Amino acid sequence: MLAGLTAVVESLHECSDHIAKALERAQAVAAARRAGMPLAEIFGQQEGLTVLERMTAVLGALSDTGSTLRRAEARALYAEGLSMEKIARLFGVSRQRVSSLLHAPALDRASPPSDRRRGGLAFTDPEFRMMAEALPHIVWVAAPDGAVEFLNTQGADYFGAPREAAYDWDWVDLVHPDDAARARADWVEATRSGCPFEIDYRLRRADGTWRRHAARALPFRGPDGQVAKWVGTATDIEDYRMPGRG
């Protein structure tokens, strides 16, 4: 149990550092936009991890931490003599889930976070959904072929879409007609090449207003090196546009 708590502390320190640096970078980008700099020039001057990369690392670290702590709790209770049935009732999960917690191998904290997550994040886990809902951005997850499988509440509310829906490729319908062909082509190329996806385009808000967004997505690869999932964000940058630019 002590090892699990130690892992929590280490992970939260890691997350705190990422969040602080992500906030610093986001503020720098906003200040540069207010000064009239184009996004291409801003990102060309920036070094190190992007905001999306840092927040993705936070999501992964918290997911790892939640799993580590829950596994430690289950093993501690089992060592004290509680049956798997009683632990399942305490945790509000199935007996099979408790069994998997008791027998799952521990994460190697000495390995870099990127190595620990090479098997792909469990995108349906409560930890991921909790973080996706907490972020003040549109957050989405797509299959390797580019079909969107998950959209957080921020995105669903922004578009006026059903909370649980099969978005697939219908997201292109939310892009301004003048930007849609480029958005689709760039996304197809990203899913084909496995390279990060970066684009600015106009998205239709629920009230029918078109607002410019900066969209970014990163691929997560499985043990075989193939893309297992895409995690992306879309951030409203309409208020930071240069005067006179479309």
pLDDT of residue 178: 95
Query: Rounded CA gap, 200 and 146, in Å?
Result: 18
Q: Report which residue type is found at 202.
A: R
- Residue 242 is classified by DSSP as P
Question: Percent of the chain beyond pLDDT 70?
Answer: 66
**220 φ/ψ angles, rounded to the nearest 5 degrees:** -110, 130
pLDDT of residue 210: 94
**DSSP string covering 62-99:** HHHHHHHHHHHHHHHHHHTT--HHHHHHHHTS-HHHHH
| Residue for token pair 């927040």 | 55
**Once rounded to an integer, what is the mean pLDDT over residues 51-55?**
69
- Residue 239 is classified by DSSP as G
Q: Report which residue type is found at 160.
A: G
For residues 11 and 60, the answer to whether their CB atoms sit within 8 Å is no
- Residue 93 is classified by DSSP as S
Query: Rounded CA gap, 14 and 20, in Å?
Result: 10
Per-position b or e across 112-121, b if 16+ CB within 10 A of its CB: ebeeebeeeb
pLDDT of residue 99: 76
Per-residue pLDDT band at 220 (split at 50, 70, 90): confident
| Residue for token pair 């918290």 | 62
**Once rounded to an integer, what is the mean pLDDT over residues 8-37?**
77
More confident residue, 125 or 136: 136
The first and second tokens of residue 33, run together, are 């936009």
Question: Percent of the chain beyond pLDDT 90?
Answer: 15
pLDDT of residue 209: 94
Residue-wise pLDDT for 100-119, tens only, equals 677 655 444 444 333 333 33
**Once rounded to an integer, what is the mean pLDDT over residues 178-198?**
92
pLDDT of residue 60: 64
- Give which of 149, 205, 199, 213 is closest to 174, Cα–Cα: 205
Among 87-96, 120-129, 136-145, 206-215, the range of highest mean pLDDT: 206-215
Adjacent-strand bridge partners of 219: 230
- Given a cut of 80, whether residue 213 has pLDDT beyond it is yes
